[in-house]
Structure 1
Amino acid sequence: MAQQEQRMMADPYFSIDYQAQVNLCPLADGETVPDADTLEAEIPAPFKLISEVTRIDTNNARLLRNLDEHAADLVEIINLQSRKIDLVLSYVLAGKDNPEQRHHTLSLGGGGFTFVSQQPLAEGCSVRFKLFLPELSVAVYGYGQIQADRPADTEPTHYRCQFSALREQDRDALIRASLQLQAKQLKARAERRAQQDGPTAS
């Protein structure tokens, strides 16, 4: 329990249980985690593009909320256009996925993510990561530090990647995605509960 409390204090960001695709590449000898300017220059163009599209979509959604009910058709057209762009970007980003470096998250949030690896990873090692959430129009490129995330008596297959270099707009996108996923999970849980309860007898 003390280890869990210590981890929660180190990571103040909300996390949600969710399986997403992530590429992990341990840094080679002599490589270091970049500073903010170097990271900005290093991020591949498709990751910057989807980040900008997501920012625009967020601003559009804010503006559309101020329109009255007569603008429903306009809202639908804009949403469809946004969906088409998301599909194209998802296809482009698929080319950035390396199957040999592919893992799947167990949970994720603004501070990092947990994942399973059948290959042992050194505690404290730095990695370059590419995190993909195409259904939420989020793709993040950054760096993290590996920590074991398991009970002491189990094999070291569960790890946590704590973010060490990440653009703030990408962290914000992950926080928004976590909240959206939580809302969807809570809605699905409520619907399942309603179906299980069934109609009340008269």
Structure 2
Amino acid sequence: MNQDEYFSVHAGLTINVERLADGESLPDESAFLLEIPPLFRVASECSGFEEGIEQSLGKLAQKDNQLLLDYLKAQNNKINLLLSFVLSQQDNPALRYTTETFGASQLTFTATQPFQVGRYTRVKLFLDKPSAAVYCYAEVTDCREKGDAFEITLKYIRLQEDDQDLLIRAALYVQQKLLRQRAQQRTENQ
């Protein structure tokens, strides 16, 4: 699938965006993989495990093992809370922004200073559902004035395939949540 084919959702994720310094170049694919902080690797792997485990838990639910299922879900929630806390320690307040939109190919956010189109950035995205963080590089593809600020669009340039899958799952989670809220509002209005 072409990166431009992924949809974006309106949601506020915490991100860190660091502009590459003058003379600093985009790493090649192998250098990028070596550069990814270990904690981001662990978070990505844990999210991958969780997806497989959810299918197994679905089978347990069919076999009427509700107590075991509840226990396993509670343990999973504890691990996710701990993982979220540890990942939050990687958030640098000096580089922190909040997304306007995000998806598996790009994101937008608002900044008080303009970003130069065509320049590269190092990006950390902190996801709530699934609990994970993504480390990648992106290119500034658009910078538009928006009132007293600037709306910046970043397109991912160096992104692991597993992390792209995480972003797809996170966007789908947000989309499903919005659809449930709309359905509930319709039900309440009738």
TM-score above 0.5, yes or no? yes
In 2: Cα distance, 1:124 partner to 1:24 partner: 15
Match of 2:121 among 92, 108, 127: 127
38, 45, 60: which one aligns with 1:52:
45
Q: How many residues are matched? A: 188
Unaligned runs of 5+ in 2: none
1:89-128 equivalences under 5 Å are 89-128=83-122
Alignment pair present for 1:61 and 2:54: yes
Percent identity over paired residues: 35
TM-score (norm 1): 0.86
CA distance in 1, matches of 2:104, 2:52: 20
- Return 79-88 or 161-170, whichever deviates more: 79-88
Superposition TM-score, scaled by structure 2 size: 0.91
Given candidates 61, 67, 78, the residue that maps to 1:73 is 67
The amino acid that maps onto 1:132 is F
After TM superposition, give the deviation of residue 34 of structure 1 in Å.
1.7
Structure 1 residues 33 and 145 mapped into 2: Cα distance closer, same or farther (>3 Å)?
same
1:138 counterpart residue number: 132
CA displacement 1:132-179 (0-9 Å, x = unmatched): 01343121000000122548x977611111000000000001001111
CA distance in structure 2 between the aligned counterparts of 1:116 and 1:154, rounded to whole angstroms: 10
Unpaired stretches in structure 1, ≥5 consecutive residues: 1-8, 198-202
Alignment of 1:107-186 (within 5 A): 107-148=101-142, 150=144, 157-186=150-179
- The separation in 2 between residues aligned to 1:73 and 1:14, in whole angstroms, is 38
Cα contact 1:138–1:174 (8 A) shared by 2 = no
Structure number having the greater strand percentage: 2
Q: Runs of 4 or more off by more than 3 Å in structure 1?
A: 153-156
Give the 3 Å change call, closer, same or farther, for CA 76–10 of structure 1 in structure 2. closer
User: Offset of 1:48 from its aligned partner?
Assistant: 0.8
Q: Which residue of 2 aligns with 1:200?
A: none
